[in-house]
Amino acid sequence: MARIVMKFGGTSMAGIERIRTVAERVRREWAEGHDVAVVVSAMAGETDRLVNFCREASSLYDPKEYDVVVSAGEQITSGLLAIALQAAGVPARSWLGWQLPIRTSDGHASARIGDIDTAALNASLANREVAVIPGFQGVAPGERVTTLGRGGSDTSAVAMAAAMKADRCDIYTDVDGVYTTDPRIVPRARKLKRVTYEEMLELASVGAKVLQTRSVGLAMKEGVRVRVLSSFDDAHNADGYRGTLIVGEEEIDTMERQLITGIAHDKNEAKVTLTEVPDRPGAVGAIFGPLATGGINVDMIVQNVAHSSGSTDVTFTVPKADLARALDILEREKAAIGFNRLVHDPRIAKISVVGVGMRSHAGVAATMFQTLGDRGINVQAITTSEIKVSVLIEEDYTELAVRVLHTAYGLDAEEVD
Amino acid sequence: MARIVMKFGGTSMAGIERIRTVAERVRREWAEGHDVAVVVSAMAGETDRLVNFCREASSLYDPKEYDVVVSAGEQITSGLLAIALQAAGVPARSWLGWQLPIRTSDGHASARIGDIDTAALNASLANREVAVIPGFQGVAPGERVTTLGRGGSDTSAVAMAAAMKADRCDIYTDVDGVYTTDPRIVPRARKLKRVTYEEMLELASVGAKVLQTRSVGLAMKEGVRVRVLSSFDDAHNADGYRGTLIVGEEEIDTMERQLITGIAHDKNEAKVTLTEVPDRPGAVGAIFGPLATGGINVDMIVQNVAHSSGSTDVTFTVPKADLARALDILEREKAAIGFNRLVHDPRIAKISVVGVGMRSHAGVAATMFQTLGDRGINVQAITTSEIKVSVLIEEDYTELAVRVLHTAYGLDAEEVD
C-alpha cells in the first residue's frame, strides 16, 4: 500500500466527461488499496475567464480580492470530482485550502506555501476516503484566501506530497512524459524514463513547459518523487512503466545515464546589448538594478573581459513582452550606466543542451559549436552552467539547430513509432 | 447615519459593466455616511451552469459537494464587487460565509441560517469599509460549506440586516417594486408604496415572484424593514420615494390602507381530485402522507362535507412538474386510501385576491365570484385565508380574470404612465 498524490491539469478537468475519466483513473489507484489525495486545476480556460473579470473590474485590482475570485475555479472542479468519485463508488470529499488548512504567506496572487495541516486529512485517508484538494489555493494568516500564481497547482501537488510523506506525486497532463526535445520539431525525440530534478529545472526553464519550475524546485528540496504522465493515453513504455520519473541523481543508474538528456529551445526572449559600458565596479549593478525594480526578469547575461579601451559590452536577454519597457528603462538610466549604444534584437532563440552527464565529460560545448557551425548557424552569445550549455542564435534557425544537435548527441530514437 | 444592507440579484451582477453600476449605487449610500453591507447573487445564469455540472456528474450528487460547487458563483461576484468598489474609491472587502462566519444548519443545499457573527464585520464597518457578502452561502458545524436553496440570497440579505440591526434592507432587482398585479397583464397595475409582510407572503407564494418567500417570513419574524427597488431605473415615486417598502401592519397608515392590495395568479399548479374517499379519521393522512414523503409540495387543499353515502371528494393542487409523480404515488396507495377515481387537470390557474383590509370587510369573496361569473368564468374550487381568497379556474381565462378583478376592486391606476 502506498500513499499517492495525483494531480490533474485544466485540460484533464475540462468538462464532466473528462472529470469522469479522471475519477476512473483515481478509482483504479484507490481500488489497489493506496491512500490517494487528488489535486485539481480549474477547467481549462476558467482561470483566464476569472482573471479577465478582475482586470476588467480594475486594472489595479486588489490581489486579496483577485484571490477570492480566481480560487473559485479550483473550488468548482474539486467539488465536481468528489461527486464523480462518489458516483464511481469511491468515498471522497473535497478539502478547500482554508479547510485543511493549507497555510501560505500573505503574498496574495503569488503566495508561498508554508505549513499544511494533515491531521484531518490523514484521519480521512485512514477511513479509505479519497481527498480532493483544489490546487493553486491556500489561506494566509488572518484567514484570507490566497493563490500561488499561475501554474501553482503543480506546486500544490508537490507540497501536498511532501506534507503527506507520499511515496509518489503523479502529475497527469496532456503530454505523456518528458522528451529529449520537442517532438513537434524532432519526430525521433525519445521519451525519457528518468530525469533528475536539476535537469528538469534546466529543461523547464528553457522551454519544455511540462511542469511549473517552482514545483520542480520544491520537489528537489523535499525529495518528492514526481512522475509526469498522460491523462489521456494509457500506453505504457516497453518496460511497463508510464511517463517520466523526476528524481534525485542517486536514483539514476550510472549505466543508463546519458551524456546529454535533452535539447531545449526558447523563442520568448529578446537580446539587448549595451556597448562600451565602463569597466568599473558597480557598472553592472547600474544596469540590472533598475530592470529588477521594473519587474523585468533578465535571463542570460554575458559580459566579456574589458576592451583595451577600458570598457566592455554587456549582452543579456529579457522576455520579448517586456522588451519595450526594458529599453525605456535603460534609455532613462543612460547617464548613470554610461554606455555608448543600446542595441536590441527580438529575432533570436536560445538553444540549450542539458545533462548531468556533461559534468564529467569535456567536449560537450565543442560538439555544440562544431555542429552548429557546420550548418552555417552563427552563435551570438554563450553561457554555461554545470549541466547546461546555452547559445543564442538567429530565430529562423531554431528548428534546424534543435534537429542537428539532437542527432549529434545521439538522442534520436531508433525508429519512429 | 443609518446601517443599510443592499442586496443585488443575478441580473444586476451579470457582467463587469453592471457590477460597476452596482458599485456606483453602493458608493452613493456610503458617501452619505451610512454603514453599508452589500449582499450579492451570482451572475445571472452562473448558478444554473454550476448546478448542471453537478447533475451531469451524478444525478445523485452529494449535497455537501454540490454546495462547494455552487457557492463559487457568489464568491466570484463578491470579490469582483469589492474590486469595483475600490476602483470607485470606496474601501471594501469581501467576507465569505466561512469568514464572518454565517453559521447555518447542516441541511446541505437548503440550509437554514443560524447565528451570524458580526464582531469582525462591525469593526470593519466602523473603519468606513463597505462589506461585500456572498449571498446564498454559509458554513455548517464541522466547517463544511452550505447553501440556502435557490433564491437564498434574499434570505441572506434579510438575515444580515437582522444580525447587523440594520435600519433597512434594500433588495435591488429587475422590477421597480411590488405591483397590484402583473403589469404585463394589466397595464394599469399600480406600484404599491407599502405592503405588509403578510400580504407580501401571500402575493409571493401565489406568483408575484419578486422576493423569495422564506426571506419575507424571516423579515416578518425579525422585524426587518425591506425595500424592493430597481437596480436599473432611478425613477422615484411622485413623493420622492423609490420602490416598495415591506413592513409591519402597524407602519401602514389606516388612511392609505386599501381593502385589497393585489391580485396574484399562478399557472404552475395542476389540479388533482380523488372521488369517493371514505369519510373517516386518517383518510386525509393516507393521501398527503405519501405525497409529502415523495417530496411533493401540495398547495391548495379543498375537502367538502361528506356525501350522504359516507364518502367525500378531495381536491388539491401540486406543481405541474410533479404531477406525473404524484399520480404514480396515489395509484400505488389506492387501496390504502380507498378512493374511487383519480381525476387530474393540468390546465388550471389559481387566482388570488390579497389584502389585510379584507379582515374587517365582508363581501370580498362575493365580489370575486360575482365578477368572474359575469364573465362566464367557472370557479372550480375555492380556499380562503384571513387575508386571501383563492380560486381555481380554467387556465385560458387567467388574464381575463386578473383584469376584471383588478378593475372590480378599484385597483386600476388613474392613467397609464
pLDDT tens per residue, range B38-62: 999 999 999 999 999 999 999 999 9
Interface touch A72/B69, C-beta < 8 Å: no
The size of chain B, in residues, is 417
User: Between these two residues, A304 and B296, which has the higher pLDDT value?
Assistant: B296
Q: What is the pLDDT of residue B416?
A: 47
Report the interhelical angle of A63-70 vs B72-87 (nearest 10°): 160
Q: Shortest CB distance from B57 goes to which of A60, A71, A80?
A: A80
Lowest mean pLDDT among A16-25, A147-156, A197-206, B41-50: A197-206
Q: What is the DSSP letter of B237?
A: P
Interface touch A58/B96, C-beta < 8 Å: no
* Rounded mean pLDDT, A165-188: 92
CA nearest A119: which of A90, A95, A92, A141? A95
φ, ψ for residue A306, nearest 5 deg: -65, 145
Q: Which residues of A touch B75 (CB under 8 A)?
A: 68-69, 71-72, 75
* Rounded mean pLDDT, B224-235: 87
C-alpha cell at A249: 541523481
Q: What is the pLDDT of residue A206?
A: 63
Q: What is the dihedral of CA A143, A145, A149, A152, to 10 degrees?
A: 90
Which DSSP string corresponds to B5-16? EEEE-TTTTSSH
Report d(CA B69, CA B13) in Å as an integer. Answer: 19
Q: Shortest CB distance from B75 goes to which of A57, A72, A84?
A: A72
Best of A40, A65, A70, A106 to substitute, by most chain B Cβ atoms within 10 angstroms, is A65
Please tell me the pTM assigned to this model. Answer: 0.85
Q: Shortest CB distance from B143 goes to which of A50, A76, A99?
A: A99
Q: What is the pLDDT of residue B98?
A: 98
Q: Is A319 exposed, middle or buried (0-12, 13-18, 19+ CB in 10 A)?
A: middle
**pLDDT tops 70 at residue B255:** no
Q: Does residue B96 belong to the interface with chain A, where contact is any CB pair within 8 Å?
A: yes
Report d(CA B251, CA B247) in Å as an integer. Answer: 6
A43: closest chain B residue by CA = B53
Domain spans in chain A, listed from the N-terminal domain onward: 3-250
A99: closest chain B residue by CA = B143
Q: Which residues of A touch B68 (CB under 8 A)?
A: 75-76, 78-79, 82, 94, 96
Interface touch B93/A50, C-beta < 8 Å: no
Model pLDDT for residues B274-326, shown as the tens digit of each residue: 999 988 878 888 899 999 888 888 988 888 777 777 888 899 999 999 999 99
Q: What is the pLDDT of residue A312?
A: 87
State the count of interchain CB pairs (< 8 A) between A and B. Answer: 115
Report d(CA A60, CA B88) in Å as an integer. Answer: 11
Q: Which residues of B touch A38 (CB under 8 A)?
A: none
CA distance B154 to chain A (A): 22
A120: closest chain B residue by CA = B142
* Rounded mean pLDDT, A12-38: 97
CA nearest B80: which of B70, B92, B89? B92
Q: Which residues of A touch B79 (CB under 8 A)?
A: 54, 65-69
Q: Which residues of B touch A66 (CB under 8 A)?
A: 79, 83
Model pLDDT for residues B350-361, shown as the tens digit of each residue: 999 999 888 777
Model pLDDT for residues A81-112, shown as the tens digit of each residue: 999 999 999 999 999 999 999 999 999 999 99
**Radius of gyration of chain B measured on its C-alpha atoms:** 23
**pLDDT tops 80 at residue B183:** yes
Sign of CA dihedral A327, A331, A332, A333: positive
φ, ψ for residue A73, nearest 5 deg: -60, -45
In sequence order, what are the beta bridge partners of B264? B352
* Rounded mean pLDDT, A297-305: 85
Interface touch A69/B54, C-beta < 8 Å: no
Q: What is the dihedral of CA B407, B412, B414, B415, to 10 degrees?
A: -110
Model pLDDT for residues A256-287, shown as the tens digit of each residue: 677 899 999 999 999 999 999 988 878 888 89
B82: closest chain A residue by CA = A65
Within 10 angstroms of residue A2's Cβ, the number of other Cβ atoms is 12
User: Between these two residues, A205 and B315, which has the higher pLDDT value?
Assistant: B315
C-alpha cell at A214: 517552482
Place of cell 466547517: B143
Between the alpha carbon of residue A99 and those of residues A133, A134, A139, the distances in Å are 10, 11, 9
Place of cell 365582508: B362
Cis upstream peptide for B281 (omega within 30°): no
Model pLDDT for residues B13-32, shown as the tens digit of each residue: 999 999 999 999 999 999 99
Q: Does residue B76 belong to the interface with chain A, where contact is any CB pair within 8 Å?
A: yes
Report d(CA B355, CA B363) in Å as an integer. Answer: 13
Lowest mean pLDDT among A44-48, A302-306, B354-358: A302-306
CA nearest B39: which of B171, B217, B150, B145? B171
**Out of 3.40.50.300, 3.40.50.10540, 3.20.20.140, 3.40.1160.10, which CATH number does the structure's domain A3-250 have?**
3.40.1160.10
Beta strands, E only, B15-141? 35-40, 92-94, 102-104, 113-116, 130-134, 137-139
Strands B348-354 and B262-266: antiparallel
Q: Which residues of A touch B64 (CB under 8 A)?
A: 93
Beta strands, E only, A197-237? 226-230
Report d(CA A378, CA A375) in Å as an integer. Answer: 9
Q: Shortest CB distance from A58 goes to which of B65, B83, B145?
A: B83
B98: closest chain A residue by CA = A98
**pLDDT tops 90 at residue A345:** yes
**pLDDT tops 90 at residue A11:** yes
* Rounded mean pLDDT, A47-54: 97
Best of B76, B98, B143 to substitute, by most chain A Cβ atoms within 10 angstroms, is B76
**pLDDT tops 80 at residue B209:** no
Place of cell 372590480: B408
The C-alpha angle A393, A246, A122, rounded to 5 degrees, equals: 140
Q: What is the pLDDT of residue B237?
A: 53
User: Between these two residues, A392 and B252, which has the higher pLDDT value?
Assistant: A392
Interface touch A145/B64, C-beta < 8 Å: no
* Rounded mean pLDDT, A396-407: 96
Q: What is the pLDDT of residue A416?
A: 47
Model pLDDT for residues B73-84, shown as the tens digit of each residue: 999 999 999 999
φ, ψ for residue B73, nearest 5 deg: -60, -45
3-class DSSP state for residue A243?
coil
Q: Which residues of A touch B73 (CB under 8 A)?
A: 72
Interface touch B93/A66, C-beta < 8 Å: no
Residue type, A4: I
CA nearest B53: which of A6, A78, A27? A78
Secondary element (H or E) of residue B336: helix B334-337
CA nearest B95: which of A49, A64, A295? A64
Q: What is the pLDDT of residue A297?
A: 87
Band (pLDDT 50/70/90 cuts) for residue B253 is confident
φ, ψ for residue B150, nearest 5 deg: -55, 140
Q: Is B222 exposed, middle or buried (0-12, 13-18, 19+ CB in 10 A)?
A: middle
Report d(CA A154, CA B16) in Å as an integer. Answer: 31
Cis upstream peptide for A346 (omega within 30°): no
Residue type, A311: S
B120: closest chain A residue by CA = A142
Report d(CA B159, CA B322) in Å as an integer. Answer: 31
Model pLDDT for residues A225-235, shown as the tens digit of each residue: 999 998 887 76
Mean pLDDT of chain B: 91
The size of chain A, in residues, is 417
Q: Does residue B75 belong to the interface with chain A, where contact is any CB pair within 8 Å?
A: yes
Report d(CA A197, CA A212) in Å as an integer. Answer: 12
Report d(CA B47, CA B317) in Å as an integer. Answer: 29
Q: Which of residues 44-63 of A touch B (CB under 8 A)?
A: 50, 53-54, 56-58, 60-62
Q: Which residues of A touch B42 (CB under 8 A)?
A: none
Q: What is the pLDDT of residue B205?
A: 64
CA nearest B200: which of B240, B249, B270, B266? B249
Strands B381-385 and B388-394: antiparallel
Q: Shortest CB distance from B57 goes to which of A57, A65, A84?
A: A84
Beta strands, E only, A102-201? 102-104, 113-116, 130-134, 137-139, 145-147, 168-173, 194-196
φ, ψ for residue B122, nearest 5 deg: -65, -40
Q: What is the DSSP letter of A356?
A: G
What sections of A302-397 are H helices per DSSP? 323-332, 334-337, 364-374
Interface touch B82/A62, C-beta < 8 Å: yes
What sections of B88-187 are H helices per DSSP? 119-126, 152-163
φ, ψ for residue B319, nearest 5 deg: -60, 140
**pLDDT tops 70 at residue B238:** no
Model pLDDT for residues B318-332, shown as the tens digit of each residue: 999 999 999 999 999
Report the interhelical angle of B283-293 vs B323-332 (nearest 10°): 130
Strands A130-134 and A35-40: parallel
Half-sphere exposure of A401 (CA within 13 A, CB side): 29
Q: Which residues of A touch B19 (CB under 8 A)?
A: 57
In sequence order, what are the beta bridge partners of B298? none
C-alpha cell at A147: 493563490
Report the interhelical angle of A72-87 vs B63-70 (nearest 10°): 160
**pLDDT tops 90 at residue A413:** no
3-class DSSP state for residue A309?
coil
CA distance A325 to chain B (A): 25
Q: What is the pLDDT of residue A417?
A: 46
Interface touch B94/A68, C-beta < 8 Å: yes
Band (pLDDT 50/70/90 cuts) for residue B149 is confident
Q: Does residue B80 belong to the interface with chain A, where contact is any CB pair within 8 Å?
A: yes
